[in-house]
Amino acid sequence: EMQKKYIDIAYAKSKRLEKLIEDLFGFTKMNYGRISMNVGKVDIVKLLGQLLEEFYPSFADKDLTYELKSNVPSQVITADGNLLARLFDNLINNAIKYGAEGKKVLVQVLAKDDIVTVSVTNYGYVIPAEELPLIFDKFYRVEQSRSTHTGGTGLGLAITRSSIAMHHGIIKVSSKEGEGTTFTVKIPLSYIPS
């Protein structure tokens, strides 16, 4: 029994280390221009709908509901579909991890002029105002005491910001009691290589 306990601990730590190495490798490749973008046409409304469906077991496990709202039935943009999927995967995953107390995650799409705005809101844990400017820094973790519980590496939001920058977009965050924590991503409809 004791042997199994320590094998389980070693396995969990090795999985965490594997995730950290993968995230660090991805972050390094992004920041030093070693990732080549595979740009094509992506329906961002459809992409977000698919990601939310894939997360259904996680939503159910945390007793969360989710809603996707869009001002258009579909919106095709020029982007790297894999990078977009990874960045929105990270934002939805964080909303699930930190939003369980709020019982709901809201994803909204607003296509206007030549910009598409996507916001991911959870109504759970509120990020302290003094920590908001730091959360996109590599290895920064909100709620240091819960770092093992939530299982993150502190690189997810740094990678997300880099992915958005590669698309010439921006990301912002707001977090207030009663209004929830909202990550807002603005991406041009057409990607123009630098």
Q: Express each pLDDT in 136-194 by its tens digit.
A: 776 666 654 444 445 566 677 887 888 898 889 999 999 999 899 999 999 999 876 65
As a whole number of angstroms, the distance between CA 188 and CA 186 comes to 7
Longest dimension (CA), the chain: 62
**Residues in CB range of 178: below 8 A, 6 or more apart:** none
Amino acid occupying residue 179: E
Q: What is the pTM of this model?
A: 0.79
| pLDDT tens figures, 1-23 | 888 888 988 888 887 777 667 76
pLDDT at 77: 95
pLDDT at residue 28 in the model: 66
- Share the mean pLDDT of the chain: 84
CA distance 94 to 97: 5
**In terms of Cα–Cα distance, which of 98, 99, 92, 105 is closest to 185?**
92
pLDDT, residue 145, reads 40
